[in-house]
Amino acid sequence: MRDYREFLKETLIDEDTLQERIAALGAEISREYQGKSLHLICILRGGVMFLTDLMRQISIPHTIDFMAISSYGAGSRRSSGQVRLTMDLKDDIGGRDVLLVEDIVDSGYTLSSILELLTLRKPASLKVCTLLDKAERREVDVPIDYCGFVIPNAFVFGYGLDLDEYYRDLPFIGIVNPERFQPPE
Ligand code: IMP
């Protein structure tokens, strides 16, 4: 695989800015869930970098779990409104205070489907923390309780987000050069 710089148009959010904002989110979440049984759910694979940094900024005891989903239509990021569960949670969430940790909300269809699915399992509360919000692309209304950054309508990668499964390890968020990489429709 080629060097990421070949695909990078520009850095959108650098490492220091990301970490500073995540520290602030962690502090806010710690305050608001004080005395509760906070349970973080990470959506694989894009949310994994965010989860591991965020949890280190949360000062109250908490637990984590993972689930994986795929949108209908292989290779598609354009959700049809339905998602398929490819890996379920390990633990029951009934009666627990659940915070869903997402990498990015775009049209909102993915998040909407996940929330529908999790609500059926009767958590005590269910909130959403997303690192990135492409607000202007929203097609379905979804509640976002904690948001790292509202970003413009551009395809981004790094810090958990991939280009054909690569570059998730980059410590910053970059905007893809559309002449070098065609984002999935
Ligand atoms: P939505 O259902 O349209 O909100 O899509 C959300 C999903 O699309 C995210 O969880 C990502 O997997 C993917 N996605 C949307 N925009 C981007 C992007 O700019 N870079 C990488 N993945 C993206």
What's 113's domain CATH number? Answer: 3.40.50.2020
Per the domain annotation, does 118 fall within a domain? Answer: yes
Atom number, ligand 1, closest to the C-alpha of residue 79: 2
**From the CB of residue 63, how many other CB atoms can be counted at a distance below 10 Å?**
12
> Could you say which of 91, 106, 141, 164 is catalytic?
106
pLDDT value at residue 83: 82
Percent of the chain with pLDDT over 70: 95
Residue 3: inside a domain:
no
Residue 74 lies in a domain: yes
> What residue owns the CA closest to ligand 1's atom 14?
77
Q: Which domain holds residue 117?
A: 15-152
What global pTM score does this model have?
A: 0.94
Distance 36 CA to ligand 1 centre (A): 30
Over residues 39-91, the pLDDT tens digits come to 999 999 999 999 999 999 999 999 999 999 987 654 455 555 678 899 999 99
Q: What is the mean pLDDT of the chain?
A: 94
Could you tell me if the CB of 158 is within 6 A of ligand 1? no
Asked if the structure places residue 116 within a domain, the reply is yes
Examine residue 40 and state whether it is found in any structural domain, yes or no.
yes
pLDDT digits (tens, 9 = 90+) for 14-31: 999 999 999 999 999 999
Q: Alpha helix (H) ranges present in 1-65?
A: 15-32, 48-55
The end-to-end CA distance of the chain, in Å, is 22
Cα of 3 to ligand 1 centre, how many Å?
Answer: 22
* Residue 157: band (very low, low, confident or very high) from pLDDT cuts 50, 70, 90: very high
Which of these, 95, 147, 88, lies nearest to 124 by C-alpha position? 95
With a 6 Å cutoff on the Cβ, whether 133 touches ligand 1 is: no
Q: What pLDDT, in 10s, does the model give residues 96-133? A: 999 999 999 999 999 999 999 999 999 999 999 999 99
Pocket test for ligand 1, best of 49, 132, 161 (most atoms within 8 A of CB): 161
Contact 172, 16 (CB under 8 A): no
162 lies in a domain?
no
State how many domains the chain has. Answer: 1
Q: Considering the domain boundaries, does residue 148 fall inside one?
A: yes
Q: Which numbered atom of ligand 1 lies nearest the CA of 134?
A: 16
Cβ–Cβ < 8 Å for 63, 88: no
The answer to whether residue 65 sits within a structural domain is yes
- Closest atom of ligand 1 to 109 CA is 2
Identify any residues that bridge with 149 across adjacent strands, giving them in sequence order.
132
Judged against a pLDDT cut of 50, whether residue 169 lies above it is answered with: yes
* Angle, alpha carbons 74-134-146 (nearest 5°): 110
User: What burial letters (b/e) apply to 16-26, b meaning 16+ CB within 10 Å?
Assistant: eebeeebeebb
Q: Could you tell me the CA-to-CA distances from 69 to 60, 72, 83, 164, 170 in Å, in that order?
A: 28, 10, 6, 17, 23
